[in-house]
Structure 1
Amino acid sequence: MNLSLPSHNSRGALLNLLLALADDELVLGHRDSEWTGHAPILEEDIAFSNIAQDEIGHSLVWLTLYEQLTGRTPDAMGFERKPEEFMCCRFVEYPKGDFAYTVVRQYLFDLAEKVRLESFLDSSFEVLGETAQKLLREESYHLLHASGLVERLGDATEESHRRMQAAVDVAFPQSLGMFEELEGEQELIDAGVFPGNKALLSGWLKQAVPFLRKVSLTPPVKGENESCTVLCPVDDGGRNGRHTEHLKGLIDDMQKVYRLAPGPNW
């Protein structure tokens, strides 16, 4: 595995990127696991349990790469940090809510993951591209599952449409925080590590907006393709430690057992 950095100046920014990737997956994985035993039908109970497991596994992949660059173990990063030290976007922190909200959140997140991972394939940091290629296999199934649910529920009945549109109204502004600029991001762009969150947002909008409109859902966006204009405020701050009140409770639950015996070797 080639861990040579494209430039010395990009090290700190690269670590920020890895933590943002890992924390998004870890926190959303825990949120999705809350559907285990509670999903509307058994098929979705199993599906979201499996997706949650995959997401936490993907977090481990990014944290293992972080460990190779810093020496800090995945357990230390997952169980010893305070909530304000996490770099997840606020979008993944919100409670699971209505199943329609979970479906919309999962679709918007999985599409963003696809766009982001595909952008890594040509990264100057070779291991980023190699890792993305592996994770894309599972993420493609996640997106297929989520988009299928959105298609079926978007205009299936009057009630399903109402609930899905309400979910879009809430989730879409939150989802824009996935593309919040990272500290030092321009250094990564200049070094060819990835194209930057502004470019990723543009690529995501080009796919998300027409898909939602196709299933009779209306995102708060005017225009299409390159002329897309977002008409809602952005729910950001998570990349800089400004989290929702919901993250602390999730972290407390996640770290509870570890705190009883810090630093064990499992």
Structure 2
Amino acid sequence: MRMENAEQAKQSETYRAALVDLLYQLADDELCLGHRDSEWLGLAPDIEEDVAFSSIAQDEVGHATYYFNLLHDLGEENPDRIAFAREVKRWRNAVLLERPNGDWAYSIARHLLYDVFDDIRLEAITHSGYRPLAEGARKIRREETYHLQHFRLWFTRLGQAGGEAQERLVQAVNRLWPDVGGLFSLGMYEAALIENGILPMNGEEMRRRWEERIRPVMDEAGIPWPGEISIPRVNGRLGEHTDDLSEMLDTMSEVYRLDPNAVW
């Protein structure tokens, strides 16, 4: 009986660790991208895109907040401390999402590449055995559908425009490509996520489905396929990050650090 209890406890600990790690991946992806989106305020090509990026940024941060609240329900710190007071090595976002915005083509291309991946991940999560996550993913996916449509339209518009617009888009995709593979890493608990029914799809299957969906869009936009996709040397899912994340977090947490105990 003691051995059974010990084994059950071990399984329970593994389940929780895998679930918490996945929730950090989800939340950190959304918060990083939401913050980068917010940096376009006042800088977008026209007022409509100023409004669009502001709205999308709010959605992304709202999704991150939902995941942070699930983490808090599992015993992690309160959402504000999770968002603003964690060490860089505890962040689980893909490195692709911590990179600075670059030019307009770079931001559009990054958003499209991520949003297709996120849609695939969210669809898988709707079948998760962890009910609060599955229920939240259904609502979040409906909202993300509009983001995906928005950035697909921009991507094809830039590519089909030819000239400098297309050249910049090609350059953007080539710059993004070395980091793209990091999206499909599910971290150190991938096997446990699958075995425990938290996530019914592994990273390789996500990559395969992503490629099936991205290739036709790139063909439509006239953008050459850059080549093989591999997990980058710096893997954010394992807590490995660039100085870009440190600098972003310094900016993002500036107000919070003035008084961490304040209630805003």
What TM-score do the two structures reach when normalised by structure 2? 0.91
Contact 2:29–2:93 (8 Å) recurs in 1: yes
Residues 52 and 161 of structure 1, relative CA distance in 2, 3 Å threshold: same
| Alignment partners' CA distance in 2, 1:249 and 1:256 | 11
RMSD (Å) for aligned C-alpha atoms: 1.6
Residues 236 and 112 of structure 1, relative CA distance in 2, 3 Å threshold: farther
Query: Residue in 2 aligned with 1:210?
Result: 216
| Alignment partners' CA distance in 1, 2:234 and 2:67 | 22
CA displacement 1:24-66 (0-9 Å, x = unmatched):
1111111111100001111111111111111011100100111
| Alignment partners' CA distance in 1, 2:245 and 2:18 | 23
Matches within 5 A, 1:1-266: 8-194=13-199, 195-221=201-227, 230=228, 234=232, 236-266=234-264
Residues 252 and 121 of structure 1, relative CA distance in 2, 3 Å threshold: same
Contact 1:111–1:208 (8 Å) recurs in 2: yes
| Alignment partners' CA distance in 2, 1:253 and 1:127 | 32
Secondary structure, aligned partner of 2:66: helix
Paired AA for residue 220 in structure 1: P
Contact 1:123–1:193 (8 Å) recurs in 2: yes
1:235 CA displacement: 5.6
What percentage of residue pairs aligned between the two structures are identical? 39
| Alignment partners' CA distance in 1, 2:183 and 2:137 | 17
Contact 2:181–2:229 (8 Å) recurs in 1: no
Contact 1:79–1:258 (8 Å) recurs in 2: yes
Higher helix content, 1 or 2: 2
Paired residues, number: 253
| Alignment partners' CA distance in 2, 1:61 and 1:161 | 37
| Alignment partners' CA distance in 2, 1:233 and 1:264 | 40
1:219 CA displacement: 2.2
| Alignment partners' CA distance in 2, 1:139 and 1:235 | 29
| Alignment partners' CA distance in 2, 1:107 and 1:9 | 33
| Alignment partners' CA distance in 2, 1:233 and 1:19 | 19
Residues 120 and 75 of structure 1, relative CA distance in 2, 3 Å threshold: same
| Alignment partners' CA distance in 1, 2:223 and 2:170 | 6
Contact 1:110–1:142 (8 Å) recurs in 2: yes
Secondary structure, aligned partner of 2:161: coil
| Alignment partners' CA distance in 2, 1:237 and 1:44 | 32
Secondary structure, aligned partner of 1:184: helix
CA displacement 1:84-104 (0-9 Å, x = unmatched):
221111001111111000000
CA displacement 1:139-191 (0-9 Å, x = unmatched):
00000000000111112121111111111111122222111231121011012
Residues 11 and 33 of structure 1, relative CA distance in 2, 3 Å threshold: same
Contact 2:24–2:92 (8 Å) recurs in 1: yes
Structure 2 unmatched runs, 5+: 1-10
